[in-house]
Structure 1
């Protein structure tokens, strides 16, 4: 089976199982709803020739918006103007645009709200129907022509609501960079004019003659935080090698900045969206030349029955005032689901290569020494020149880029009680990379991000974080639950690293719970903390946060040029604190009352001014102060219900680990969440170990995902799963033993539905003296009604 990017850990605790014979400022608050002056209704089954009442709803949000504008209903308001969205799919064929003409007034708001008890969806995608078997091949094919409303380009296919895996090759190491003098190139770095290249050479036998080469992307990861997705121009044969020509100018930009370090020819590369790699269940491929899409179903899956969607519209909602003095203000979205937004930029150019949601500039060659950073991954809900916009109780999911993005001049924004999941990039992106010298009116500022869940980001953009700030002022991020992010959980970085900048800083990050950040650690994304800050953000504080089960080594990381910040009352479980010695002089980073069970924290970049620290505990003996911090972090009680809105919880995470066949597991179970545990070796071939998970209920429709650790290229682990049959009073195989020959996640879906209350995971090795290592075990299923 080919490597699978899309499968990930989910749930309250991430199961990071290692087996080695044994399984080893401005603070707006939610208040009472204001009086309602006008109410209008929009329904997917309505008509814009109707009157907009509950009995005769309109069909489009544009009709409601225009009616309010044209009749001046938002001038001199005496109550809120509420547009109720009825349940069902409000299919978008273009962004929904709001301007300062659509603002509230007199302290009242224009509100776009879910009708009580219903679940409206603003859908930027289109269903893919009419799947047919492609002859005797195991995959299915459907038509997706632009003439029928499909986008020319998209990077996602959602089958049964889940993101499918783009067809992908195994990892291939390059042999050389290459350059053809006949091909004009952008300018090379003046310091290294010899580094002017057109692409990368690979052994000829490792690269097939791919169909539609320009649809293929070359994927690459290096130095722990740079992931690249390069468009291809051509593949040609040169003796014993295949020459892969990559699109310019961005390949040369990457070489100019990082050649030989984060971008070298002998790194491992993967070919994405290649028809010839469509060889494993769960994979798909898009042929833009023929307007066809292909999908290889999972065992027992009927793609026509479960449904499939692709994104179409890029940017579902744009709220944009005319200027910093004519802002769109006092607008609310409440209880709406947004999904299937597209991102067209990767169609024609490289993405990634920088850090987190930062991107390379569109035109970097005005300055040959330009470092490449110049923009951000876009959000699907974008705010520019806004004041007092609120997002409450919404769900943002299945997006081809990020969630909510606060751009120039977005101020006094409140984002509370929302769920963000299954996104390409961060749930919330605030600030502009290149506006570091923006004036006060254009600064992204006064932000409240409170009681939200952000999870499952970055399956097709490995630099994705959970919440990402760039050049913001006065942001409060509190009581959020952030987990299963490809890269960092929380990230803030200013573009002018070495200088103090007026109006950048004062971040308050408190009472948040983060876990399983850098979820793509096994692919090489590891260089950063779950909570990370870079550059001078004076007046910022990090307090009462709980970080655990992070797959990198640093849970809290104060990095380059940190200045005038405080780190107090935080708990770091299964990871260290890093207060980097690359601080701004004089040292002004202060810390106190922090707790960790890691003994290798970096402390030279902090002044411990109250109680010393961080305090190191052992054997889980957290003191009362630490336990109080753990208990008070995460969602507040009135927002706990949001957890149920995140699908596909890993049943293994919440299960009771009740039994095993090795007494040594008793001590190992204490370290089940420590990814670095690779102790012990098998003494003979076929050494078998198992562990039992009691699920706490009766489940069926299982999918199992397993990933072995990255210990050794020669290691082959076999695995199987059993279920408990009460009627037979016996353990029955759900799946037989099968080999794992990759360090990527492997998915198995039983061909028939079986129900059980308990399962057992079995593993064994085939090498004498070889290790058995399981990085991750994920179980999803449906509660049996």
Structure 2
């Protein structure tokens, strides 16, 4: 081994040893409460007992400031939030004036055994049935406290689908001569256009055009949401004019490979597309909200919310030398944060949470990106912040965001789910050249559950790092993400920045990641469950277990990877992808990896130790691989978090345990995507089995058959496993299906089971079966 390589390996080995010291155990006993806040309290109270609580967080914060309670502290100071909904109308802000002292923290935490909710949304009530229509309507005026723009509606805790048309392909771009064009990219062929032409039959006579968005999906990861300005006729076509300068800025990206008229587009938030259960539409001109209830759903009884406040909590010191420090959040639920930027401009052209700039020529990194999707809890110029045992859910953007100057942050034991973007976003795209005091650094992200991201933002990841230093991502459970599970990318592809205030030294270890890239059925791919891009010297990716990833790659070392190690990882049903676009000389090392995927891409790594990834056949995983799989994910003290995330569909992709005669489309069926993908079989009866992980009861089953052809499924039934009888027992007998609409079955008896089987059949001797969607809901016993 030459001297330079030995030094690189030794440096990386040091990171592995350090990583072993990063993981933390369960939280210690809660701090005593000193001050109290209650949703039913009053700011005229003294706030010193549960029965004399204040009404607002601001009252508690200001009391601490005015009385100097956070100066010369001798113990942690607990601000306890009583259970209930603490509705916000503005961001809660903390600064360096609110810091702890003497090694003690100011802790905003849940009152023991209660669940406080910091809520940035507003309930929607007084729904009325629209005459002769299947949907209901409610008023959401600004005068009543609603936001003038939002992209989410939550009904019964579930994110509803914005009304959407079926995919259409354009016939060409067009240029309006009367509209001045923003500058084109001088380094690429001229492409100055104002919109896309479509066949007229694909574009109905839409009303309220200004509220429509055009979703564009192409080349695997460049997903765009364009505001529509106008729709006009042009011969046999219709012209959809898109807002400038955003459309032109996006065109500047390249010569057409990532945005062209012959890609697939979808119309969003058009009244005329409100045609399926679970869809909604907002008319901003009339301040009316429409919703098409799901089968058997009573909207008023289920409860409906829309987001209002953008950024629920903002902790920010005034400068890198005046940081907000020693502050903690523990046991609090945060929900219903808004994101207003898409109201006025397009979002897209992204790499995960990195957003394309308004004017890419002004971007100092010269690659088109100029920011990132925001989080709802923001840390800027902070030190020693801990975020533990919290729940962050139902957000219009991301979860926790560590921005410029956030250092020594601990993020442990939290739930992040039902989010538009990543649960944790660490670092800023624009911070590639900041100095030591401004770098996002020294961060521990451990034993969290991150799931269900990106239903309305297809490039969303689970945990996303940009230009960070010394971040440990360990023992997390990440699943059902639209794009990557764990993602890191450096802004400048070719720069190194390996000094102490540089970028790198990431530890990604002992994580379980599954059903990442769940939007692959929409064409979202070119990714990996665990992915890294650019030079991150001293980084280690080890002891991770990825499985049931819906794109091809489980582990992806992409462009300009440099001085990293990939060791002791297991990938089920996906490949190792070590890109040949590595930094020269090659310094990516790999050993002791396992996969059951034969077609791996391996030219971008040096295989020391035991050589290239071991390809396992017939499920014969060796003992070392089994140990990696067993020890990945949540540590024992946090294992219970796995079951605390509500599961909208018990029969999702992750619970498929066995099947009979289904084709390869099965992975697209159970991921919750509607109107795309299907599973089928050439035989006339097939079954698929789901392991729910625990006993459930009070079931409801919904099946939607494929509407392709008359020879598809005509009957379905569900069975349960009875351990006492050692047999599969019918929950329901075979039921005929005479519609392409969703069909719901609720068992008349309250049965409980851990395993269910869906059977589908076609009575024709040569018939086939095909299913669009199947879901099961229930209550854990």
Fold-level similarity (TM above 0.5):
yes
Following TM superposition, by how much is the alpha carbon of 1:762 offset from its aligned partner in structure 2, in angstroms?
Answer: 3.5
- Corresponding residue number in structure 1 for 2:702: 704
1:75 is matched with which residue: 46, 71, 86? 71
Please state how far the C-alpha of 1:446 moved relative to its aligned partner: 0.4
Give me the whole-angstrom Cα distance separating, in 2, the residues matched to 1:751 and 1:215: 38
Structure 2 residue 558 is matched with structure 1 residue 559: yes
Work out the CA distance in 1 between the residues paired with 2:685 and 2:469.
56
Query: What is the aligned partner in structure 2 of residue 218 from structure 1?
Result: 214
- Tell me the residue number matched to 1:39: 34
Corresponding residue of 1:197: 193
Change (3 A) 1:527 1:133: same
* Partner residue in 2 for 1:782: 779
What does 1:357-506 correspond to in 2, within 5 Å? 357-366=353-362, 370-501=366-497, 502=499, 503-506=502-505
The within-5 A match list for 1:525-540 is 525-540=524-539
Q: Which shifted more, 671-680 or 763-772?
A: 671-680
Distance (Å, rounded) in 2 between the aligned partners of 1:309 and 1:205:
35
- 2:51 partner SS: coil
1:666-720, Cα deviation, whole Å (9 max, x unpaired): xx99x9779999999737xxx2333465867462242436687xxx987974365
Equivalent in 171, 177, 185 of residue 173 of structure 2: 177
Q: Equivalent residue for 1:604?
A: 603
Secondary structure class of the residue paired with 2:253: helix
Q: CA distance change for structure 1 residues 497 and 776 in 2, over 3 Å: closer, same or farther?
A: farther
> 1:191: Cα distance to partner?
3.8
Does 1:645 find its partner at 2:644? yes
2:585 equivalent to 1:589: no
Q: CA deviation at 1:33?
A: 5.4
- Mark the CA change 1:245 to 1:680 in structure 2 (over 3 Å): closer, same or farther: closer
* Contact persistence 1:80–1:108 (CA under 8 A): yes
Question: SS at the partner of 1:258?
Answer: coil
Q: State the SS of the aligned residue for 1:55.
A: helix
Deviation at 1:566, TM superposition (A): 0.5
Q: Tell me, what secondary structure is at the counterpart of 1:555?
A: strand
CA distance in 2, matches of 1:368, 1:556: 30
Matches within 5 A, 1:578-727: 578-648=577-647, 650-652=649-651, 682=682, 687-691=684-688, 697=695, 699-704=697-702, 717-718=712-713, 720-723=715-718
Return closer, same or farther for 1:337/1:451 CA change in 2, 3 Å cut-off.
same
Separation in 1 of the partners of 2:554 and 2:57?
A: 43
| Distance in 2 separating the partners of 1:259 and 1:707 | 40
Aligned residue for 1:736? Answer: 736
TM-score normalised by the chain length of structure 2: 0.89
State the match for 1:48 in structure 2.
43
Match of 1:272 in 2: 268
Query: By how many angstroms is 1:258 displaced?
Result: 3.0
- The CA deviation at 1:581 is 1.0
Cα 1:675/1:538, change in 2 over 3 Å: farther
CA–CA separation in structure 2 for the residues paired with 1:341 and 1:703: 31
Partner of residue 15, structure 2? none
In structure 2, the partner of 1:138 is 134
Distance 2:27 2:247 in 1: 53
* CA distance 1:678–1:595, change in 2 (3 Å): farther
Could you report, residue by residue, the CA deviation over 1:535-587 in whole angstroms, capped at 9, with x for unpaired residues? 00000001110011101111000000000000111101111101111110111
> Which residues of 2 match residues 511-530 of structure 1 at below 5 A?
511-530=510-529
Q: Is the 8 A contact 2:152 2:307 kept in 1?
A: yes
The alignment status of 1:284 with 2:275, answered yes or no, reads no
Would you say the 8 A contact 2:550–2:667 is kept in 1? no
Taking a change above 3 Å as real, the CA distance of residues 266 and 713 of structure 1, as seen in their structure-2 partners, is farther
1:13 alignment counterpart: none
Whose RCO is larger (CA < 8 A, sep 6+)? 1
CA RMSD of aligned residues (A): 3.1
Q: Distance in 1 between matches of 2:97 and 2:643?
A: 37
Q: Give the secondary structure class of the aligned counterpart of 2:627.
A: helix
Distance in 1 between residues matched to 2:679 and 2:359, nearest whole Å: 50
Q: Retained in 2: the 8 A contact 1:188–1:368?
A: no
Cα 1:750–1:638 shift into 2, 3 Å: same
2:387–2:411 Cα contact (<8 Å) kept: yes
Separation in 1, partners of 2:293, 2:597: 44
Match of 1:761 in 2: 758
Cα distance in 2 for residues equivalent to 1:702 and 1:297? 16
> Residues 606-646 of structure 1, C-alpha deviation per residue, up to 9 Å, x if partnerless?
11111112111100000000001001100000001111210
Residues 704-740 of structure 1, C-alpha deviations (whole Å, 9 max, x = no match): 36687xxx987974365424599xx866358632566
- Return the alpha-carbon distance in structure 1 between the equivalents of residues 205 and 297 of structure 2: 30
* Aligned-partner SS, 1:263: coil
Give a deviation string over 1:62-100, Cα, whole Å, max 9, x none. 000000001111011111111000000000000100000
Which one is further off, 153-162 or 751-760?
A: 751-760
- 2: distance between equivalents of 1:199 and 1:679? 36
2-side partners of 1:186 and 1:436: how far apart?
A: 28
Q: Note closer, same or farther for the CA distance 1:490–1:731 as it changes in structure 2 (3 Å cut).
A: closer
TM-score, normalised relative to structure 1: 0.89
Contact 2:118 2:333 (8 Å CA) reproduced: yes
Measured at CA, do residues 454 and 359 of structure 1 come closer, stay the same or move farther in structure 2, by a change above 3 Å? Answer: same
User: 1:382 Cα shift?
Assistant: 0.4
Shift of 1:240: 1.2
CA distance in 1, matches of 2:242, 2:656: 50
Matched, 1:154 2:150: yes
Secondary structure of the 1:505 match is coil
User: Could you tell me whether the CA contact under 8 Å between 1:189 and 1:369 is conserved in 2?
Assistant: no
Distance, in Å, in 2 between the alignment partners of 1:767 and 1:253 is 55
Tell me the distance in 1 between the aligned counterparts of 2:580 and 2:542: 21
Name the counterpart of 2:341: 345
Provide the rounded CA distance (Å) in 2 between the counterparts of 1:34 and 1:780: 35
CA contact (8 A) 1:443 1:472 kept: yes
**Deviation of the 1:765 alpha carbon:** 6.7
Deviation at 1:236, TM superposition (A): 0.8
> For 1:21-69, what per-residue CA distance to the aligned partner results, in whole angstroms no more than 9, with x for missing partners?
xxxx584846875996970000000000001022200000000000000
| Counterpart Cα distance in 1 of 2:32 and 2:68 | 13
| Offset from partner CA, 1:491-512 (integer Å, 9 cap, x none) | 0000100110141000001100
3-state SS of paired residue (1:506): coil
Q: Distance in 2 between matches of 1:29 and 1:507?
A: 17
Matched position secondary structure for 1:286: strand
Deviates more, 1:162-171 or 1:642-651: 642-651
Is contact 1:464–1:486 with CA below 8 Å preserved after alignment? yes
**Counterpart residue number, 1:17:** none
**Structure 2 CA distance for aligned equivalents of residues 432 and 385 of structure 1:** 13
2:299 maps to which residue? 303
Using a 3 Å threshold, how does the CA distance of structure 1 residues 582 and 705 change in structure 2: closer, same or farther?
farther
